[in-house]
Amino acid sequence: MSEKVNVTLALPLAAELLDRVRGLDERLQVTALTRAQRRVYRGGRPLWLGYQEPPQPEDESDEEATARLQEILARTEVILSNPVVPEEIVSRAPHLKWLQLTSAGVDRLLDAGVVRSQVKVTTASGIHATSISEYIIGAMLAFAKGFPRAIQAQAERAWTSYLPPELEGATVGIIGMGAIGRRTAELAKGFRMRVLGMRRSVTTRTAATGDPSFDEYVPPADLPYLLRESDYVVLAAPLTPETRQMIGEAELRSMKPGAVIVNIARGAVIDEGALVRALKEGWIAGAALDVFEREPLPAESELWGLRNVLLTPHISGGTPRYMERAVELFCDNLRRYLAGEPLRNVVDVRRGY
């Protein structure tokens, strides 16, 4: 490949990250969209949830940004973007061959034309492993050591003693053995926990011989076993037709009364109404939730007021190093693209991720 490859960056990057992309190969012609062009690209939708990337006085007009954006897209071969992608991107960028997303999940785009076109779509799967696995371990420690109840007691100036359990010797069942699930397993093993791992490719429950991070592999058909055995259940699977509401009333009732569920996957993996009943009626001990069926979580949701819930606003994957890792992955894939090698994290529509 000797011709120029037009690369468009559809989200803001720090100067050093922009330089890293531009300096990767002399064949790259890199265009970073301006703030106004990015807003037009997204159709006015937020850059990230809750962040609109507001206009500034020095920005070009919407009319100027629209015209310039179309010129750029008309010659674009590669785009780096968050999941807020124009519905008509395939027709607006007729030379587009590859779309690199900065998100791990692609469920919101599975019905989009670009995913079902000839354009290769790749995700940022793997870059969240450190931040989210730390969140999961932190959530388990918080419940094991009773931090939520201690914070509530502190606010009420109540000196109430309790006997907190240990993570050592407890069982954690991890649903989803991708980068996040595996890193969580590695950390859990540092606490000498028993670790069960479930993934769709496993067909028979077996001992994880030779794998230091897991004790047992569990197939999806054995989900009841994993739930019965686990003191902590971690949801780290992508949202697909198979995983949508995979945790409902029957599954929650089969868990230990002292068990805690941690969801960093997608809100729709759990039947939220059944979860609220489980938490209120004591089917399980608690839940750490970073994702919800509706986001932002509506003010009227009962989850806000439950004392056995640790609730965060979809921040488990957040880190000051997020874009650094996303650009590192993008640059690795750019090298592969220029060399004609297979790209990492190519979306498979049939699998749903």
Specify whether 266 is catalytic: yes
Helix (H, G, I), strand (E, B) or coil at 41: helix
Specify whether 242 is catalytic: no
How far is 118 from 320, CA to CA, in rounded Å? 34
| Chain centroid offset of residue 30 CA | 27
Specify whether 351 is catalytic: no
Helix H or strand E encompassing 64:
helix 62-75
**Residue among 183, 199, 314, 325 flagged as catalytic:** 314
How far is 145 from 4, CA to CA, in rounded Å? 57
**Residue among 45, 295, 335, 341 flagged as catalytic:** 295
76, two tokens: 């674009």
How far is 190 from 187, CA to CA, in rounded Å? 5
Cβ atoms of 99 and 122 within 8 Å: the answer is yes
Cβ atoms of 265 and 239 within 8 Å: the answer is yes
How far is 271 from 247, CA to CA, in rounded Å? 6
**133 DSSP assignment:** H
- CA separation, residue 115 to residues 77, 85, 86 (Å): 15, 11, 12
User: In 3D, which of 215, 250, 258, 209 has the Cα closest to residue 233?
Assistant: 258
**Residue among 39, 42, 128, 266 flagged as catalytic:** 266
Find all residues with CB under 8 Å of 338, minimum gap 6, and list them: 1, 5, 25, 27, 28
User: In 3D, which of 134, 122, 128, 237 has the Cα closest to residue 177?
Assistant: 237
Residues assigned a catalytic role: 266, 295, 314
